[in-house]
Amino acid sequence: MQIRLEALDTALRKEIAPISWVHGDEPLLRIEATDHLRAAMRQSGFQEREVFNVERGFKVDALLAETQALSLFASSRIIELRLNGKPTKELGAALGQAAATLDASTRILLSGPRLDRATTETAWFRELDRHALIVPVYPIERAKLPQWIAQRLGRQNQKADPQTLDFLAERVEGNLLAAHQEIRKLGLLFSEGPLPADGVREAVLNVARYDAFGLADAMLAGDIARTLRTLEGLRAEGEAPPLVLWALGDAIRNLARLSEGRASGRAPASMMRELRIFGPREALYQRALQRLDAGRLERALQAAAGIDRIAKGISPGDAWSEMMSLATSLAGAPSLAGN
């Protein structure tokens, strides 16, 4: 059974599943969800813990042997698997076998990177899903980041005004581990209650980390300021222009396909699945399609091809400036709407 992170407490109050699997590309939230599951298991009596790091060369026989071994030090135990990459078919088969034979004294807890669609559509994963609690962890959307920060501040009995929350969100965007550290630091520097805006600005470092896919999301959302800020951050961090252009071009190509499918009467949900657009990104694409027509998208594809020639040194020009013009145009910048 797959559940959202917000529903984890409710699921754990009902039962501790034989196998629990937390996956996602946001380290802080994945660590916290795994810690929460482990604490719930211990509260239910699973005290002993055996940890395996699943890397290249990991022997699934060791996992199966452990699931069948008797506990020496406690009546119930946790077998924890930490994955560093994509699970193999052999591991999936071993987990399925373990799930079918696992007794009530043992629980398996897995954590690792986001599972792609190719994995979640395998026969072994579908079979495992019948016995397991699967918890996908998604990054915090930029629009929801101030609220997330406010909730974290509330845990230490602090609060901030909307402007300060937005300032904090800008500084920690894309780096929740650093955000967590900055929030904890505010708890040490200031007393409980409202935070002083000027004091926060002096105390908080600019720990934002930008990535090319975050740029595409900002463009799709129509957030011009964030689009500019992310592009400037990527340039300052020395990101390679071809990678940034690839992320922008991929988003534009998806928009063009969705626009073409919409014109031919195809269901947007079906098209989204074909293009592997899931979760919060579906809403971003839908928002972008409301302001971008087929003609704009065709011109954008042509512009992206021109920027590619500049980035490769075939044509003269500044690839970063051209990408800024293209991205902000698609985000809805009035002065560039004709692009």
CATH number (domain holding residue 154): 1.10.8.60
pLDDT for 202 equals 83
Residues 16 and 105 reside in one and the same domain: yes
Which of these three, 203, 221, 238, is where a domain ends? 203
Residue-wise pLDDT for 46-88, tens only, equals 888 888 888 877 888 877 777 776 555 556 889 899 998 888 8
- Residue-number span of the structural domain to which 321 is assigned: 212-336
Residue 257: pLDDT band (50, 70, 90) is: very high
Q: Is the pLDDT of residue 110 over 50?
A: yes
pLDDT in tens, 116-138: 888 988 988 988 888 889 999 98
Same domain assignment for residues 226 and 309 = yes
List pLDDT tens digits, range 146-184.
999 999 999 999 999 999 999 999 888 888 888 898 899
Cα–Cα distance, 327 to 75 (Å, whole number): 59
For residue 243, count other CB atoms closer than 10 A to its CB: 14
State the total domains in the chain.
3
272-318 pLDDT, tens digit each: 888 888 777 888 999 999 999 999 999 999 999 999 999 888 989 89
Pairing of strands 158-159, 48-54: unpaired
pTM: 0.64
* Residue 70: both structure tokens together: 């008797």
Residue 63 sits in a domain of what CATH number? Answer: 3.40.50.300
Nearest alpha-carbon partner for 272 in 281, 293, 219, 139: 281
Q: Are residues 49 and 108 in the same domain?
A: yes
**Number of neighbouring beta carbons within 10 Å of residue 265:** 6
Rounded to an integer, the average pLDDT of 202-221 is 83
Domain end, chosen from 88, 114, 137, is at 137
Distance CA(308)–CA(315), nearest Å, equals 9
What was the pLDDT predicted at 336? Answer: 42
Picking from 260, 238, 246, 259, the residue whose alpha carbon sits closest to that of residue 307 is 246
Mean pLDDT of the residues in the chain: 87
